Amino acid sequence: MTDIHVETERVQGHHLLEVKDLFVEFHTRDGVARVINGVSYHLDPGETLAVLGESGSGKSVTAQAIMGILDMPPAKIPKGQILYNGEDLLKMPEDKRRDIRGQQISMIFQDALSALNPVFSVGWQISETLRTRMGMSKADAMKRAVELMDQVKIPAAKARLKDYPHQFSGGMRQRVMIAMSLAMDPKVLIADEPTTALDVTVQAQIMDLLADLRRDLNMGMILITHDLGVVADVADRIAVMYAGRIIEHADVRALYKQPAHPYTKGLLESIPRLDDKGTVLKTIKGLPPNLMRLPTGCKYHPRCPYTQPICVSDEPRSLNLGNGRTSACHFAKEMLSGELG
Amino acid sequence: MFRYLVRRFLQMILVFVATTFIVFALMYATGGDPIQALAGERPVSEQQRAQLTKLYGLDQPFLVRYWNYLTGLLRLDFGKALNGRDVSEIIASALPVTAKLALIAIITTIVVGVVAGIIAGVRRGSIFDNSTLVLTLIVIGIPIVTLAPLAQYIFGIKLGWFPATAAGREDDIYALLLPGIILGALSVATAMRLTRASFNENLRSDYVRTARSKGLPGRRVIGVHVLRNSLIPIITFLGIELGALMAGAIVTESVFNVNGIGFNLARALRTEDAPLVVGLVSVLVIIFLVANLIVDLLYAVLDPRIRYE
Ligand SMILES: Nc1ncnc2c1ncn2[C@@H]1O[C@H](COP(=O)(O)OP(=O)(O)OP(=O)(O)O)[C@@H](O)[C@H]1O
Ligand SMILES: [Mg+2]
């Protein structure tokens, strides 16, 4: 019944998930931090959207707003929509919203050691929602937990059911976290820097696992990262965030080929490459902006190598460059044609 | 685990021997004349003195007497009080009373302190939080020597809600209620603040965010995930607080005439009844050591990250 409903809605042009012109601010003792300033992105089933940006650009806060786990106060959402199958989550009563949380949209976090509860066994934690929300018996829920652990390739899953998070290695712990997030067959998986806390080799394994799961389960996946290198193989599209805005959005290949925003270009140039070992890595100069006192005009202008007077005075609007590609730069076209940079 | 238990047991024996030795030494080296203390105002003849000295073993060297005492304990023989009764008999009748009192006190601490602490911790900054904070500041400032007689006067004598004294009614829980609650009131403020801080800290942890993102209802997030973690320091506190409770029992039991360990200890000190003092203190030390051991073992049960080797 619901599936038919969902289908018809998608025919009518709904994305699986769509964030529309979202604003989030934090009201703190020191003032108001405007952390998200008009973010829009969307996600369809079976695709991966990478959300990229420096620390503090608002990637996690956007994700937490989607999940509905921001503490309000201090957070406030003065404007915006978060549409799931065309329905605005922000207008839903809390109990209806809670049904979506974990069941339709679920999330995994950066540091699985602190994100898992230290005093409960992993089997208990994976099966918790099955027992308490899906009404499964304890035995059935545990059986399902073993299946989930098998699915994320935890060796000897059954034997490790009663183990505690601290008894697992970092990579295995993140797999536990992933198994837990899959328990209720979500349609959207938000992965907030799932590999940042791990060794490089383990990072690649976890990314492969996520890519496989996304394909096998036909989920939409939002992959948050500040590492452009990670996303090339996994993501379909990339949204680049800066100071709480999406400053560029493009297909992965198109973006790698020719960035349409100086910030993206800076990010690309700061990835170490295997093929040119000799060259010195470029880094983006300066610091991310103070969210309590944002600069005028383009928020990136104090750090941009191409700054013109118009960048200081006018805030650039998100420019549609065709094929779903957008860039919030006054000189997006010039960037794209290679006239700049 | 086994090795840990063995080591702990040896440690406990060491502590027990050391503390009882100190008390033993203090009681028999204060310079008082135990035989005169026994006789009270009456004169003691030389013959009686010699006889009593022999009976209580006062003619033997100190270390020998201490050794005899220790080996006696193994047979549950605590010696004889100066009034002729077996110390073990006095302990057997006083211990259950104090245990009941301590139980009432602990329940008071949990019901009032821990519950209020949870509410204050969850609703941080609320009127409830702020008013209980002020209240605990005041309560922490009142010593039990003031609190116990004050409560006895107000609730026992003026209002008549409770019996003002429990003398001879030690089997009646109702008579023990007021002294028990007063004894527990000592720890309520600390328990509340500790619970509040522990909840506060755990509420901010990452695993709470995870639990919420699983779509669990708020009461499950707090009542299961946060509570289970916050309990660890609270249980530790309650176990250690048992020691403070025993000290408080000396005052409370004396004020309310409850015939427990504390009451008897106060009286034994007053009458300089050395064998009784040593016996009662030995019991208190054992209670304290066992409580600490239980807390440590519980700790490992509550926190799987702790392993005793
Ligand atoms: N509870 C809060 N109160 C005040 N400010 C907050 C709060 N949570 C987040 N912020 C601010 O919001 C901004 C964006 O934070 P966010 O966590 O979304 O960054 P991010 O892009 O995920 O960075 P990172 O790569 O470090 O995870 C930061 O400047 C942060 O200080
Ligand atoms: Mg983040």
The CATH number of whichever domain residue A205 belongs to comes to 3.40.50.300
Task: Please choose, from the candidates B230, B276, B246, the residue with its C-alpha nearest in 3D space to the C-alpha of residue B105.
Answer: B246
Q: What pLDDT does residue A205 have?
A: 87
Question: Is the Cα torsion angle B9, B14, B20, B24 positive or negative in sign?
Answer: positive
Contact A117 B302 (CB under 8 A): no
pLDDT of residue A238: 93
Q: Of all atoms in ligand 1, which is nearest to the CA of residue A62?
A: 18
- Report the interhelical angle of B274-302 vs B261-270 (nearest 10°): 150
Task: CATH number of the domain at B262, please.
Answer: 1.10.3720.10
Residue A335 CA neighbour count, 13 Å, CB half: 27
A29, with CB counted inside 10 A (0-12, 13-18, 19+), is exposed
CA distance, residue B235 to nearest chain A CA (Å):
15
Give the model's pLDDT for residue A146.
94
What gap in Å lies between CA A336 and CA B224, rounded to an integer? 54
For chain B, how many structural domains are there in total?
1
Q: Name every chain B residue with its beta carbon within 8 A of the beta carbon of A119.
A: 228-229, 232, 302-304
* Inter-chain residue contact A115 with B209, CB threshold 8 Å: yes
Assess if residue B111 is contained within a domain: yes
Tens-place pLDDT, residues B38-65:
666 667 777 777 777 777 777 777 788 8
> Which chain A residue's Cα is nearest to B212?
A69
Q: Give the ligand 1 atom nearest the CA of A70.
A: 1
pLDDT tens-digit series, residues A96-127: 899 899 889 999 998 888 999 999 999 999 99
Does residue B152 form part of some domain?
A: yes
Q: How much is the CA Rg of chain A, to the nearest whole Å? A: 21
Q: Considering only the beta carbons, identify the residue of B213, B217, B229 that sits closest to A119.
A: B229
What distance in Å separates the CA atoms of residue B98 and residue B20, rounded to the nearest whole number? 20
> Given B207, B213, B302, which is nearest A114 (Cβ)?
B207
A235 within some domain: yes
pLDDT category at B277 given cuts 50, 70, 90 is confident
Among partner residues B213, B220, B228, which is closest to A132 by beta-carbon distance? B220
CA of A192 to the centre of ligand 2 (A): 6
Q: Which residues contact A341 (CB under 8 A, 6 or more apart)?
A: A262, A265, A305, A306, A335
Give the domain range for residue B238: 88-302
Q: Is residue B82 part of a domain?
A: no
Most confident of A155-164, B83-92, B267-276: A155-164
Whether residue B305 lies within 8 A of chain A, CB to CB, comes out as yes
Which residue in B has a C-alpha nearest to residue A189's C-alpha? B213
Is A72 near chain B, with CB under 8 Å? no
- Nearest partner of A222 among A206, A201, A242, A237, judged by Cα: A237
Q: What is the pLDDT confidence band of residue A231, given thresholds at 50, 70 and 90?
A: confident
Does pLDDT of B177 surpass 60? Answer: yes
- Report whether the peptide linkage leading into residue A302 is cis, meaning its omega lies within 30 degrees of zero: no
Q: Which residue's CA is minimally distant from atom 13 of ligand 1?
A: A56
pLDDT digits (tens, 9 = 90+) for A7-52: 444 445 788 999 999 999 998 888 888 889 889 999 999 899 999 9
What does the pLDDT read at residue A128?
95
How far apart CA A169 and CA A156 sit, in angstroms, is 14
Chain B touched by A258 (CB under 8 Å) = no
pLDDT confidence of residue A125: 96
Q: Whose CA is nearest to atom 9 of ligand 1?
A: A61
Cβ of B114: how many Cβ atoms within 10 Å? 23
Q: Is residue B39 part of a domain?
A: no
Q: Give residue A65's pLDDT.
A: 94
Atom 30 of ligand 1, residue of closest alpha carbon: A56
Which residue's CA lies nearest to atom 5 of ligand 1?
A26
Out of A90-94, A157-161, B44-48, pick the least confident: B44-48
Beta strands in chain A (DSSP E): 17-28, 31-43, 48-52, 75-84, 87-88, 105-108, 188-192, 220-225, 237-242, 245-251, 319-322, 325-327
Question: If pLDDT is split at 50, 70 and 90, which confidence band does A6 have?
Answer: very low
Q: Is the pLDDT of residue A5 over 50?
A: no
- A118–B305: do the CB atoms touch at under 8 Å? yes
Task: Please tell me if residue A109 touches chain B, with a CB cutoff of 8 Å.
Answer: yes
Q: What is the pLDDT of residue B211?
A: 94
Of all residues in chain B, the one with the smallest CA distance to A117 is B207
CB atoms A106 and B302 under 8 Å:
no
**Whose atoms come closest to the Cα of A192: which ligand?**
2
Report how many domains make up chain A: 1
Let me know if residue A319 belongs to a domain.
no
Q: Over 70: is that where the pLDDT of B247 sits?
A: yes
Q: Does residue A148 sit at the B interface (CB-CB below 8 Å)?
A: no
Q: Does A72 have pLDDT greater than 70?
A: yes
Residues with beta carbon inside 6 Å of ligand 1? A 26, 28, 33, 35, 53, 55-61, 74, 226, 291
Task: Determine the 3-state secondary structure of A272 from DSSP.
Answer: coil
A270-306 residue pLDDT tens = 776 655 555 556 677 777 888 778 888 888 888 888 8
CB of A101 less than 8 A from some CB of B: yes
Per-residue pLDDT at B225? 93
pLDDT of residue A175: 92
CA of A236 to the centre of ligand 2 (A): 21
Question: How are beta strands A188-192 and A105-108 bridged, if at all?
Answer: parallel
Ligand 1 atom having least distance to the Cα of A33:
5
Per-residue pLDDT averaged across B203-226, rounded?
91
Question: Is residue B179 scored above 80 in pLDDT?
Answer: yes
Region B234-246 average pLDDT? 84
8 Å CB contact between B102 and B250? no
**Counting ligands in written order, which one lies closest to the CA of residue A64?**
1
* Higher-scoring residue by pLDDT: B252, A286: B252
Size of interface A-B (CB pairs under 8 A): 70
Instruction: Report the distance separating Cα B272 and Cα B81, nearest Å.
Output: 10
- In a domain, residue A211? The reply is yes
Best mutation site among A30, A57, A71 for ligand 1 pocket (most ligand atoms within 8 Å of CB): A57
pTM (2 d.p.)? 0.79
Domain range for A290 = 2-104+184-274+281-296
Distance from the alpha carbon of residue A186 to the mean position of ligand 2, in angstroms: 21
Contact B215 A114 (CB under 8 A): no
**Confidence check on the interface: ipTM exceeds 0.90, yes or no:** no
Cis peptide before A74 (omega within 30 of 0): yes
Q: Does residue B228 sit at the A interface (CB-CB below 8 Å)? A: yes
**Nearest C-alpha to atom 4 of ligand 1 is from which residue?**
A26
Contact A118 B215 (CB under 8 A): no
